[in-house]
Each structure stands twice: as C-alpha cells, then as structure tokens.
Amino acid sequence: MCQEGNFLADPMDQDLNIPLSSQAVFWRPRHVAGSPLLEDIPYLFWVLETVRPRSVVQVGLGDGLLYLALCQAVERLGTDAVCLGIQEDAAELPEALRHAHDSQYGDFSLILRGDRAGEALQPGEIDMLVVDAGLSAAQAGGVVRDWLPRLSRHGIVLVCNPDGQAVEGALRAALYGDDNLLRIAGPLSPAAGRLDALLWGADQPERLKRLAASNWSTPAHRGARLVFGRLGRALVDAWAVSELRESRRGEPARRGGGMPRAGREDAFEALMQEKARLEAENARLARQCDERIEDIAVLVQTFDRDKSALQAGTRSAEAEVARLREHLAAAERAGEAGRSQAEEVQKRNAMLEAERSALQDELARVVAEGEARLAEMARRHADEIRALHDSTSWRITRPMRSVKQAFSRKG
C-alpha cells in the first residue's frame, strides 16, 4: 500500500492522471461567494478539463457560483463550447453575479427561463448536464423529460447534493436506477455540497472510467481526495479572510457625539479588542492558507519525482522490450532456417527411403531369379545323373570300375 504522500507511486494509477498533472485544479476562481459548493470548484475545474464538453447545461442556477465557475472553465479551456443556464421564472441571480455573467460570458453563455427551454437543443447535443440541488418539482420533471434524452455519447451528469430532496422520485430513478452506470461518488473532496459525476454516455475519457471503476481506498482515490480537499479548503479559507477584511473596512466608528468621554473610551477599547481579535483570526487563516499551499507544493514535488522515476522506468522497460523483440525476431529467423533445413532433410530421407525400397525390390527379384536358376540347374543335374545311371555304358563298365577300385585300395 502506498503512503498518502506518495499516492502515484504505483504505475497503474499513473494512467488516471489525477490530479496534480492538471493545471485546471490550480485555477483561481474569479467569482467567490459563501456557497456550500465553493470547496468543489477545483474538482469541477478538473472534470471540465478532462471532459472538454462542447455544450454545458445547468438546470437550476441556485446562488450562481457553480454556473459562473463552469463558464470560467469553458472560457479558460479556449474551446468553442456553449453554456446554457436554466432558471425558474421566479428565481433571480444575485446582482453582482448576474452582472459578471453578462459582461464576461455573454458571448457564449445564455440564461433561459421556463420549463420548455429544453427545446433549444437537439438530442445528442449536450456533453455535460449539471443538476442543481434546489430544483422544484417542475424542474426535476424537466430534467427527465427534456435534458437527459439530449445527452450525447460523451455525456456526463453532475448532481449537486444528490441526497437532497430535489433528487427524489422519478429523477432519482432516472439518475441512479441503472446499477451498471459508472459513477464517481463525490466528490473526491470532502465538501459539504457533494458533487456526484455520472458517466452517462458510452464514450468517456479513460481516466474517468478507471477512476469510477476503482475502489475508494486505492492510491488514486486517496491522493485525489487529499489534493482536491486541500485546494477546496484553501478557497474557503481565502474567502473567509476576505470577508474578515471587508468587515474590518466597514466597521463603524461608533463614536456618538453625545457619548460621555468614559463611554467613548470604553467603546474605543472594545473596538481595539475586536480589531486585535480579527487580526489574530486573519493571521491564523493566513497561516492555514500558507500551510496548505506548502502541502500542495510538496505534493507537486512528490508527483514530479514519482513521474520522473516512472518515466525512467518506462524508458528502461521500453528498451528491454525492444531488446526482447529483437531476440524474438532473431529466434524466429533461426527457427525459420531450422524449419527449412528440417524440410530439406525430410525430403532427402524420403528420396533415400524410396531408393532403398527400390533396391530391396530389385534384390528380391534377383534372389528370386537366382533361386529359380539354381532350382532349374539342380533339377537338370539330377536328371542327368539319373540318365547316366540308367545308360548301357554305365552297366558295361561296371566290372572295370570294380577292378580299379580294388587296385586303388591295394596301392
């Protein structure tokens, strides 16, 4: 098991490419507010950089923070994507956020009202659908009726606060009814808002599929939770520091004209104590931000070191693979030559076998002819001996052969 500070040491997790290899997680959001989704902004930026959607739709804008972050990411990525925000008739964005949207993102983003806004896009056109936590029943029905059928093969659904009352009934069944649907339960950062990512379309980035299919206890998940969590909390702390500074600037003097001197002194002392408290709180939050930035820097260094080691190991492995492939090719060439020689030997053996068989046949024929001739000669010799014994001259010379034999024994 990898240590938490070395969560990308396993080469199998390197393919997930999360999250320090992404520049998007370090983007500073332009629009910051006291929203429960503020801590999720780094995770949201990373998802958009990974998916690179051609069209983004958010149903229910809530406080507007998440939608403006979507618009900022689309603009930062430099794609030709369009953004569409769907808002109920009675809902209004905060004036500052509405002005920021119209002045900075009006060329590619549009905010529409009403239940029939889904007719603005055709089926298969939406690559990212964001479902806000505060949907009305009409909006929840519109998600099922108008927006889910318009998701593309690359479509992904981000669900804000999926355990809230807005995601119930038909909408929950539509979003979570398919057990085979890949889902990154979320977020990976421990934010109060929680942001589920549902990989709706069949064609998804490989690192999202692997992350969704992996266990929460894997090094990739642990590392992502660590980085996204610290980056998200750093945003919250920075916003809190900003709010403290604003409160200090707007603190009234509280010096009543008719207040007695002693009362003014007491009020001044109270203000100074409050100032000291706020300065101490400001310093504490600033230290926390610095510590988290340092932690992130350490993580980046660890990632770079592990990445360099993995790249060196990859190069070594590639060289070894090339060497083994060359050996395999040489062995295959040698094997091919051996097979050719074996085939040639087999052919020669077949020829010799044919010649041996022919010689055996010839030898058998010669032996048979010799045996036949010997048999014929023996038969003729026997006939001649028989004829000689039966002849008259043989009988006449018999006494002379007997005398010769007698003299031969005496000698």
Going 7 to 8 to 14 to 18, the CA torsion angle's sign is positive
Q: How many CA atoms lie within 13 A of 390 on its CB side?
A: 6
Please report the pLDDT score of residue 153 as a whole number.
Answer: 92
Please report the pLDDT score of residue 14 as a whole number.
Answer: 46
Q: 262 vs 256, 259, 265, 269, 272, CA distance in Å?
A: 12, 8, 5, 10, 15
CA separation for the pair 43, 293 (Å, rounded): 17
CA separation for the pair 363, 376 (Å, rounded): 20
- DSSP string of 109-133, one letter each residue: EEEEESTTGGGGS-TT-EEEEEE-T
The rounded radius of gyration (Å) of the Cα atoms in the chain is: 50
Tens-place pLDDT, residues 34-54? 888 888 899 899 999 999 999
Please report the pLDDT score of residue 171 as a whole number.
Answer: 85
Tens-place pLDDT, residues 181-199? 887 776 555 555 578 889 9
Q: Cα–chain-centroid distance for residue 214?
A: 10
CA separation for the pair 101, 81 (Å, rounded): 16
Length, in residues, of the chain? 411
Please report the pLDDT score of residue 224 as a whole number.
Answer: 77
Tokens encoding 103: 């002045």
Give the other-Cβ count within 10 Å of 182's Cβ.
17
Question: Which residues lie closer than 8 Å to 270 by C-beta, 6 or more apart?
Answer: none
Tokens encoding 155: 């479509």
Please report the pLDDT score of residue 108 as a whole number.
Answer: 93
Please report the pLDDT score of residue 259 as a whole number.
Answer: 52
| Whether this model's pTM surpasses 0.75 | no
Pairing of the two strands 126-131 and 182-184: unpaired
Residues (pLDDT < 70) of the chain are 1-21, 89-91, 114-120, 164-167, 186-193, 248-265, 267-268, 391-397, 401, 403-404, 408-411
Please report the pLDDT score of residue 255 as a whole number.
Answer: 43
Cβ proximity of 236 and 39 under 8 Å:
yes
Q: Across-strand partners of 197?
A: 158, 184
